[in-house]
Amino acid sequence: MRAMVFDGSSSKLDLKEMPSPSPAIDEVLIRIEACGVCRTDLHVVDADLTEPKLPLIPGHEIVGRIETVGPMVRGLSVGQRVGVPWLGRTCGACDYCKTGHENLCDAPGFTGYTINGGYAEYCAANARYVFSLPENADPVALAPLLCAGLIGYRSYKLAGDIKKLGIYGFGGAAHILCQLARHQGVEVYAFTRDGDEAAQEFALSLGAVWAGNSTMQTPVSLDTAIIFAPVGALVPLALKAVRKGGRVVCGGIHMSDIPAFPYADLWEERSILSVANLTRADGEEFFPLAEAANVRTETLAYPLEQANEALDDLRQGRLQGAAVLVP
């Protein structure tokens, strides 16, 4: 099979011919139809995340059809369309797994980081960690839901019962979450890079009631602010934007250092939370909600061999919505 491979020597991937994976007894072999390009992939190849399996096939927003089913797999069949997310396996034995917090598992496996992912024609995945997906939907449109959608939803769950939501960084996750929040009657206020009028217009077209630069003040105080941009300097700004008792949720796996800020900005029971990974329950909740909200993803498809170009477009902020690789 063809695969884009990261060997750790640079931030570039190499196109290689490799054997198709042989699934274990509890895995399925998947012929990949599409794989989204996520900011976490950038953090892997740019060495912000420092413990990848090497060599590595990145990618964890995988949509494909099952080619082979391992002998211990139940409930999945050949030809079925499934999605493979970031969380590839958990130990099932630690306190976190036993108490419904498998996203914090002590011995997890992550697709496209410690397990080979979807920048390829085939992948193997643990059958208990894949999601059934609509058979007739566009696989390119589905791909961003597998991480941008799921992490956005988990961040949204931590936001609490809210009426006014601020979103910092209007990319893959934000454009999905904006649609879901608006469907549920939440007002969305979008913060973008300074001068990025195209992103602001994009946010308004998806139902945001206000859009502006990250340093601007909204006309109202926010109940919660979710930060998807990996910029620590946004945390103090977001704290100033939320009301007393409000929350700031950091939705990324990596962020630059948060600068010092006055305690007064945190006082009055404001809080800062981080989001780690996802649970299978998040997916079981999210996909029906996304369908009910008629969520539509904005995507740009790239051939598999143009993975480096897709990553660089994401790195440089040239995308609205999400990039998706198509083998």
User: How many helices and strands (H and E) does the chain possess?
Assistant: 10, 17
- In this structure, the answer to whether residues 196 and 235 fall within a common structural domain is yes
Report the pLDDT value the prediction gives residue 219, as an integer from 0 to 100: 92
Pick out the chain residues at pLDDT < 50: none
Report the pLDDT value the prediction gives residue 129, as an integer from 0 to 100: 98
Report the pLDDT value the prediction gives residue 158, as an integer from 0 to 100: 95
Report the pLDDT value the prediction gives residue 321, as an integer from 0 to 100: 84
In this structure, are residues 276 and 104 in contact, taking their beta carbons and an 8 Å threshold? yes
Report the pLDDT value the prediction gives residue 98, as an integer from 0 to 100: 97
- In this structure, the answer to whether residues 155 and 101 fall within a common structural domain is no
Shortest CA distance to 88 belongs to which of 64, 59, 65, 47? Answer: 59
Q: Which two tokens stand for residue 50?
A: 């420092």
Q: Which two tokens stand for residue 266?
A: 């945190």
Q: Which two tokens stand for residue 33?
A: 């139809």
Which of left, alpha, beta for 185 (phi over 0: left; psi -120 to 50: alpha)?
A: left
SS3 assignment, position 298: coil
DSSP per-residue letters across 59-103: ---EEEEEEEE-TT--S--TT-EEEE-SEEE--S-SHHHHTT-GG
Q: Tell me the CA end-to-end span of the chain in Å, nearest whole number.
A: 10
Please indicate, yes or no, if residue 308 is contained in any of the structural domains. Answer: yes
Please indicate, yes or no, if residue 282 is contained in any of the structural domains. Answer: no
Please indicate, yes or no, if residue 287 is contained in any of the structural domains. Answer: no
For 209, the domain range is 150-274
Quick: pLDDT tens for 141-199.
999 999 999 999 999 999 999 999 999 999 899 999 999 999 999 999 999 988 889 99
In this structure, are residues 204 and 211 in contact, taking their beta carbons and an 8 Å threshold? yes
Q: Tell me the CATH number at 138.
A: 3.90.180.10
Please indicate, yes or no, if residue 220 is contained in any of the structural domains. Answer: yes
Q: Tell me the CATH number at 216.
A: 3.40.50.720
SS3 assignment, position 154: helix
- In this structure, the answer to whether residues 118 and 91 fall within a common structural domain is yes
Please indicate, yes or no, if residue 286 is contained in any of the structural domains. Answer: no
Please indicate, yes or no, if residue 291 is contained in any of the structural domains. Answer: no
SS3 assignment, position 218: coil
- As a whole number of angstroms, the distance between CA 25 and CA 100 comes to 25
Report the pLDDT value the prediction gives residue 317, as an integer from 0 to 100: 87
